[in-house]
Structure 1
Amino acid sequence: MELASGEDECLCQRQKYCVDRPIYTQEYLQEHLHLKKKEPTSFLHKVAQSCRCTAKKAKSQLYSFLPILKWLPRYPVKEFLIGDLISGLSTGVMQLPQGLAYALLAAVPPVFGLYSSFYPVFLYTFFASSRHVSIGTFAVISLMVGGVAIRIAPDAMFNIVEANVTNSTEHLQKIEKRDAERVRVVVAITLLSGLIQLCLGIFRFGFVAIYLTEPLVRGFTTAAAVHVFISQLKYLSGIKTNRYSGPLAVIYSLIAVLSNISTTNIATLIIGIICVVLLLGTKEINDRFKKKLPVPIPMELIVVIISTGVSAGLNLQESYEVNVVGRIPTGIWKIPAQ
């Protein structure tokens, strides 16, 4: 011990400094620290303090409701602008066909998929509190909303038999009335869901998500993928079947598709398989060569453009009975009067 102390003294002398730290005890800290004593306050005093409005508090509340006022002036244009433009373009290109498909899942005209792809993102720009949150159409929500719309406004209410589709004027009028009624139902569901979410946000009920276990989330995601896949089989194969809702609807849909497998439209099936292969193959290429590619290959947009050109050039609807989306109205879709 004496040798070690001597070495320490030599080391301190050689380096011309030495660190000496005093030892603090609990008694020393309690004696020298001036702890702030909490003065008892009444309930009215606490309410008055919480209702007191100051410039700093008002500014903080304004930033909490409109975060764009805080992050937009600090936005690094030179660093992020090009990357954000490329990301926005890629997302918008993918959202175009995806929004149309999710509108069909929700049992509304395809143009509503474009509405749902634009307006939520536009509003979230002003009220955004996280750059990582994905806003837009969602397959599971579309299926849930579509199930309610079909249950309240089924085809049988308008004497529509999907297995016997015709292009007569009477049939088109029935389709228009059915779509108008379903749009009303979906609008009511969306309004009520928005009000409920607004109330949950005001009362800070987001903490409930902390208690969702990983197996629950994974099971929910897997079940949603199965539902989406089975619900798209009839469109992928071109089989005309009724759409089911309620408990075990996915089982009934699968049985209906398998029992009518002999009526598969070969042209529709070939087009669907080609599009799926192109999308999956391009996704693999983008993931593997993402460091070498300046921008991801927008295969979604390419598939939409090529499919539209082929459908119009070969007249697939008349020649091969391939269902097409149809006319997409410009502007805001108007609900026909009852």
Structure 2
Amino acid sequence: MEEYVVQREVLNEDRLEEVAQRDTSLTGPSVVEKIKECSKCSVTRLKQTVQRWVPILEWLPKYPIRENALGDTISGCSVAIMHLPQGMAYALLASLRPVFGLYTSLYPVLVYCIFGTSRHISIGTFAVISIMVGSVTERLGPDSDFIINNGTNTTGSVDIDARDAYRVKIACAFSLLVGIFQILLGVVKFGFVVNYLSEPLVRGYTTASAVHVSVSQLKYIFGVSPSRYSGPLSLIYTVVDICCQLPQTKVPELVVSIVALAVLIVVKEINGCYSKKLPFPIPIELVVVIAATLITHFCQLTTLYNIDVVGEIPSGLQAPIAPDVGFFSQMVGDAFAVAIVGYAINISLGKTFALKYGYKVDSNQELVALGLSNAIGGCFQCYSVTSSMSRSLVQESTGGKTQMAGVVSSILVLIIVLKIGALFEDLPKAVLSTIVFVNLKGMFKQFTDLRELWKTNKVDLLVWLVTFTSTILLNLDMGLGVSVAFSLLTVIFRTQLPRYSFLGQVPGTDLYLETETYKQAKEIPGIKIFRSSTTIYYTNAEMYLDALQEKGVTTIHSIILDLSTTSFVDTVTVKTLRNIFCDFGKVDMDIYLAGCQGCVIEQFEKANLFTNSIPKSQVFVTVHDAVLHIQRKRACLERNSHVSLRCNQQEADYS
């Protein structure tokens, strides 16, 4: 066992500032100085600024073709193979035609390649964002607005072409508004906003979103047509409606779904079990899409069994159009929610890969890059995007090292849109739904969080459950608001009700630990050492004083307040400390502060805490310094007391 001995003088705050030479003149630059600094311009500074806002200008000229080109090409091809089925499948979640999922897998990917800072994430369609977009397109463009009228009577049928065209306008405007929010947040350096979305909140929210996604796809699997519901409990109403329509299930579509689902699950399990032996994952989604399209076409399943298929997929690219900003007022709340959720998913994936490969992801630039992807994509008939975990993992595992892999995947998607897209018109929608189901496996596995959180942290478990329940019952947008509010309340709750404890010394050491937790920690006679588990501020300052009084501090002469856990103070904290010094001073108890950080000392000085009644000499560097000072002081008092008593006795004897 290693031992060491530390020998130094006892340091209070006055002596510490003298020994360590604390600089009290440090002040930050003024606003004017900051503006002048930002206004300075030079060629080097201009180049750095442009490269910071457009990162491709920095890394593309240095791109090592020999080392990265092959890996990025293979990776891009692999991701493009996933973009095709996922893009079409997730477009159905957004209540759009599948071709718009292909557009969304093209333009935003190219934009992110130019402005993004992550080398490995794959931008494009994602289930959670798609279902959130779908809730908006269906709310603002319901079927009831497109019932075909015939004179005074209605035929009861929906003008699908008009409805779909209108929903595309909604989705484009929504994508633009989401992009505007993200760009503005990035410009004002608001990337830290994602810190308020804790991991239990995000995982609970995405799990609940997976349930919403699953329910939305049941209508394609069973071939039924449930009514559309919105607002609280809409998910419950939808499930009940689907269950009531189960007797009208289209058996052929159910059979197609079961077969496709079985094949997808089996092959994906094989991919997982033999991932190290396979040169690349089997592209089973693409295989199923091609096989289902061929079988449906040549067996004439649409004609014989009325199976619902994708339908017309126009070849070629659509001309860019300006989104209709008239929709903005009806979708502000939803757009902000999607902006935050999309960014949270994007930055969490980006930081994961950055940590693994040793590079840095700029959180604010990621907001701008994602915002530009959404805003520009909205002008090219794309809906909102974020990164996809499944595609990002494939991009990384197949050798992708830069966003050039995204360029390669975009080129292949472009070829599909221009030349091959029309070949998938006979693809059953039920097959796309099964692809969505299988890709939700990772999100449903997050239910295992409950067991882990039960063992580790009950408050985080409560955040997960409240997030999941509120999102299920209240819908995606309101659920997110309730979840964030509840999560912030738990932070306040934890700081408002901290743990208060008395500390004792471990014999023979300078360690002071909680007497309730450590058996060897013994209180020092006549001295109480009091500590709060969190910082002291206005929400808990009064309780701090009450706890100190309730703990019982009679028959002692000194109290040490350990402030090592305090990172900031406010005016209420200062008033509370003054009251403690005053109240306990009236009963001849000395109060000492210990473990104060430099920033706390500065705040005390600004608040004029230190006076003749509360001198800096009663603030010590550590608890042990304060204890040694008190013991030496008491020893001196006792020695003086004995001397005084002896003198008085001698005077009495002399008399």
TM-score bracket for the superposition, by shorter chain length: 0.7 to 0.9
Shift of 1:43: 4.5
1:139-154 mapped onto 2 (5 Å cutoff) = 139-154=127-142
Deviates more, 1:143-152 or 1:236-245: 236-245
CA distance in 2, matches of 1:226, 1:176: 29
1:116 aligns with: 104
State the one-letter code of the partner of 1:245.
S
8 Å Cα contact 1:239/1:257 also seen in 2: yes
Write out per-residue CA displacement over residues 290-338 of structure 1, whole angstroms, 9 at most, x where no aligned residue.
Answer: 2222222111111111111001011111101110001100123579xxx
Pick from 279, 283, 286 the counterpart of residue 301 of structure 1. Answer: 286
2:204 aligns with: 219
Pick from 123, 135, 159 the counterpart of residue 135 of structure 1. Answer: 123
1:18 aligns with: none
8 Å Cα contact 1:100/1:113 also seen in 2: yes
Write out per-residue CA displacement over residues 7-47 of structure 1, whole angstroms, 9 at most, x where no aligned residue.
Answer: xxxxxxxxxxxxxxxxxxxxxxx99x9x9x97997653432
1:275 aligns with: 260
Cα separation, partners in 2 of 1:171 and 1:330, compared to 1, 3 Å = farther
- The higher-RCO structure (CA 8 Å, 6+ apart) is 2
2:145 aligns with: 157
State the one-letter code of the partner of 1:72.
L
Shift of 1:265: 1.2
State the one-letter code of the partner of 2:100.
F
Deviates more, 1:306-315 or 1:178-187: 178-187
CA distance in 2, matches of 1:41, 1:262: 73
1:313 aligns with: 298
CA distance in 2, matches of 1:279, 1:82: 29
State the one-letter code of the partner of 1:208.
V
CA distance in 2, matches of 1:289, 1:208: 40
CA distance in 1, matches of 2:110, 2:241: 40
Q: Radius of gyration: which is bigger? A: 2
SS at match of 1:129: coil
Pick from 78, 84, 98 the counterpart of residue 72 of structure 2. Answer: 84
CA distance in 2, matches of 1:159, 1:67: 49
Write out per-residue CA displacement over residues 167-194 of structure 1, whole angstroms, 9 at most, x where no aligned residue.
Answer: x9x957x111111211111121111111
CA distance in 2, matches of 1:239, 1:100: 20
- What is the aligned length? 302
1:255 aligns with: 240
8 Å Cα contact 1:151/1:246 also seen in 2: no
State the one-letter code of the partner of 1:224.
S
Cα separation, partners in 2 of 1:197 and 1:153, compared to 1, 3 Å = same
Pick from 91, 95, 104 the counterpart of residue 92 of structure 2. Answer: 104
Shift of 1:242: 2.9
Shift of 1:53: 0.6
Deviates more, 1:38-47 or 1:324-333: 38-47
8 Å Cα contact 1:97/1:300 also seen in 2: yes
8 Å Cα contact 1:86/1:295 also seen in 2: no
Higher helix share: 1
Structure 1, unmatched stretches of 5+, are 1-29, 162-167
SS at match of 1:135: strand
Cα separation, partners in 2 of 1:268 and 1:96, compared to 1, 3 Å = same
Higher strand share: 2
1:57 aligns with: 45
Write out per-residue CA displacement over residues 202-222 of structure 1, whole angstroms, 9 at most, x where no aligned residue.
Answer: 112111212322211111111
Moved over 4 A (4+): 37-43
Shift of 1:160: 6.3
CA distance in 2, matches of 1:224, 1:72: 37
Cα separation, partners in 2 of 1:39 and 1:158, compared to 1, 3 Å = closer
CA distance in 1, matches of 2:84, 2:253: 20
Aligned-pair identity in percent equals 47
SS at match of 2:279: coil
Shift of 1:248: 2.1
8 Å Cα contact 2:147/2:157 also seen in 1: no
Question: What TM-score do you get using the length of structure 2 for normalisation?
Answer: 0.43
Question: What TM-score do you get using the length of structure 1 for normalisation?
Answer: 0.81
SS at match of 1:130: coil
**What is the RMSD of the two structures over their aligned residues, measured on CA atoms?**
3.1
